[in-house]
């Protein structure tokens, strides 16, 4: 009816409309931005998930490959064990004994040797000494004195306990070995029990074999160990031991592991082929190792020493072992020969030191036709290692009447032509 009011009303409606539209568009833009961020986050998380899946698939594949390789190795080892391969049989029974659980204070040291011809397994086993047997029966709290009092096990009971423990360990070990022999690899086990202890009369450490037994599988598996007296069972199996094991009285092992190092091979003479024109850095690597053996044999022969060369392997292992009888500076000496034309790296010196420790040697000698870097000399300092370079080698050879030369440049050229 009134035009002015109509226009005013229209303006108000247009204002409210534009305001609400602006707010809606603003809210819509915010929601769109939020949804876009959600999409981005989803894409990012999805991509990360895909990467994790790919990583998992790769790890799964690697695991299955390792599992297949491990199982293949086990199958191969099983075949060797079933075919009575000595190394495989020893490795198998080594694993059996390592799986046997004893108190942490007990030693877990042993050596195994197998003879496939007569199916005899020899076990050299370190037994616990009496010092490793618990001596406390109980601990009481004295309230009046506010102190703890230890109640000790009587000596006669400890002595009896020790003998029983040793016999039980012996029978248990025989049982574990026979029981696990699924491939029927052994007919007889020869078990020697050794104890490391201090001789109270001399104060020196001694390692004595205190019992020895040779058990036949057919006889042993028929014994019900749950009902036997350990000592009586041991004696019935013709085991050898003193009447009181705690005295650590040595007995002669019935059968022992051969201590001959199977790595030793027949040596041959090289020095007669060498003269002033011989370039040591270019000679055959196996001849070089035998030359080093000859050289140190002459060096140690003065004191009645012996040097043996090991199987040629070109792997940087033990090339020769010297046995020096000198009571002060003697012992087992590991010798490695490096016919090199380049500087010997410190890794070779580290390897030598590791070999000395593994071999239980008193010293290691590294001989090369080239030289060593400062890091090699620094590493050897203060350790039972001797590094002989090319000059030292020539001097030592001349000392024993052998003359030769070392020409690294010529050797590199000759070795390169040979390899081509």
Q: Cα–Cα distance between 152 and 345 in angstroms, integer?
A: 58
Beta-strand ranges (E) seen in 228-292 are: 240-241
Of the residues 247, 279, 301, which one is the last residue of a structural domain?
Answer: 247
pLDDT for residue 314: 43
pLDDT of residue 416 exceeding 60, the answer is yes
- 312-328 per-position pLDDT tens digit: 444 444 577 877 665 55
43 vs 316: CA distance, rounded Å: 55
Which CATH number does the domain housing residue 398 bear? Answer: 3.40.1350.10
**Is the full-model pTM beyond 0.85?**
no
Look at 302 and 227; give whichever has higher pLDDT.
227
Do 212 and 344 have their domain in common? no
Mean pLDDT of 239-260: 79
| Judgement on whether residues 397 and 286 belong to the same structural domain of the protein | yes
Q: How far is CA 355 from CA 325, 329, 332, 348, 416, in A?
A: 21, 19, 12, 10, 31
Whether 56 is covered by a domain: the verdict is no
**By the 8 A CB rule, do 345 and 376 touch?**
yes
Report the C-alpha gap between 269 and 290 in whole angstroms: 7
Residues 228 and 357 in one domain: no
Q: Is 106 in the same domain as 229?
A: yes
Q: Note whether 316 and 239 are same-domain residues.
A: no
Q: Is residue 359 assigned to a domain? A: yes
- Whether residue 110 is found in the same domain as residue 239: yes
Q: Are residues 239 and 275 in the same domain?
A: no
201 in the same domain as 104: yes
- Is 164 within a domain? yes
> What whole-number distance in Å separates Cα of residue 313 and Cα of residue 336?
12
Domain presence at residue 323 = yes
**64 domain residue, yes or no:** no
So what's the pLDDT on residue 310?
Answer: 64
Together in a domain, 290 and 207: no
Q: Specify the pairing of strand 331-338 against strand 363-368.
A: parallel
Whether 220 and 321 map to the same domain: the answer is: no
Q: Give how many domains the chain has, as a whole number.
A: 2
Report the run of H or E that residue 195 belongs to, with start and end: strand 188-198
Residue 403's domain comprises 271-419
Could you give the CA distance from residue 90 to residue 96 in angstroms, rounded to a whole number?
10
Band of the pLDDT at 197, cuts 50, 70, 90?
Answer: confident
d(CA 239, CA 351): 43
Ranges 164-168, 311-315, 351-355: which has the least confidence: 311-315
Lowest mean pLDDT among 106-110, 200-204, 395-399: 200-204
Q: What is the mean pLDDT of residues 200-225?
A: 88
Residue 253 lies in a domain: no
Query: What backbone phi and psi angles, to 5 degrees, belong to 279?
Result: -95, 105
CA dist 345 → 73, 149, 196, 299, 389 (Å): 34, 60, 40, 26, 12
Say yes or no to pLDDT of 171 above 50.
yes
Average confidence (pLDDT) over 126-138? 86
**Given this model, what pLDDT does residue 317 score?**
46
Q: What are the distances in angstroms from CA 349 to CA 133, 163, 283, 345?
A: 42, 47, 23, 7
Q: Is residue 237 part of a domain?
A: yes
Identify whether residues 240 and 300 lie together within a single domain: no
Confidence of residue 311 (pLDDT cuts 50, 70, 90): low
The mean pLDDT of the chain is 86
Q: Determine, yes or no, domain membership for 341.
A: yes
Asked if 189 and 296 sit in the same domain, the reply is no
């Amino acid at each position: 009816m009134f035009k002015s009011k109509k226009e005013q009303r229209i303006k108000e409606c247009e204002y409210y409309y534009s305001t609400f539209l602006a707010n809606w568009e603003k809210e819509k833009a915010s929601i769109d931005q939020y949804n876009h961020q959600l999409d981005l986050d989803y894409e990012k998380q999805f991509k990360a998930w895909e990467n994790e899946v790919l990583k998992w698939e790769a790890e799964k594949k690697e695991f299955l490959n390792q599992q297949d390789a491990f199982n293949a190795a086990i199958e191969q080892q099983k075949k060797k064990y079933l075919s009575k391969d000595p190394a495989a049989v020893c490795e198998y029974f080594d694993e059996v004994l390592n799986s046997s659980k004893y108190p942490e204070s007990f030693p877990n040291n042993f050596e195994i040797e197998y003879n496939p011809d007569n199916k005899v397994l020899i076990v050299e086993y370190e037994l616990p000494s009496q010092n490793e047997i618990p001596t406390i029966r109980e601990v009481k709290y004295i309230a009046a004195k506010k102190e703890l009092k230890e109640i000790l096990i009587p000596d006669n009971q400890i002595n009896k306990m020790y003998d029983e423990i040793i016999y039980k360990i012996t029978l248990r070990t025989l049982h574990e070995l026979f029981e696990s022999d699924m491939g029927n690899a052994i007919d007889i086990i020869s078990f020697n029990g050794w104890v490391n202890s201090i001789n109270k009369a001399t104060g020196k450490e001694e390692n004595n074999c205190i019992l020895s037994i040779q058990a036949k599988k057919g006889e042993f598996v028929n014994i019900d160990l749950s009902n036997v007296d350990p000592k009586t069972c041991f004696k019935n199996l013709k085991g050898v031991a003193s009447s009181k094991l705690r005295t650590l009285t040595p007995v002669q092992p019935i059968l022992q592991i051969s201590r001959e190092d199977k790595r030793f091979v027949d040596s041959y003479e090289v020095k007669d082929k060498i003269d002033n024109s011989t370039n040591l850095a270019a000679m055959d690597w196996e001849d070089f190792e035998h030359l080093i053996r000859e050289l140190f044999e002459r060096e140690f022969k003065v004191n009645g020493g012996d040097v043996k060369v090991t199987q040629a392997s070109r792997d940087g292992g033990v090339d020769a072992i010297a046995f020096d009888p000198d009571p002060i500076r003697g012992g087992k000496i590991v010798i490695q020969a490096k016919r090199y034309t380049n500087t010997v790296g410190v890794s070779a010196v580290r390897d030598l030191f590791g070999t000395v420790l593994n071999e239980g040697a008193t010293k290691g000698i590294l001989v090369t036709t080239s030289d060593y870097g400062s890091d090699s000399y620094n590493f050897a300092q203060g350790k039972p290692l001797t590094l002989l370079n090319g000059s030292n080698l020539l001097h030592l050879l001349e000392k024993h009447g052998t003359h030769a030369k070392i020409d690294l440049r010529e050797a590199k050229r000759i070795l390169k032509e040979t390899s081509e």
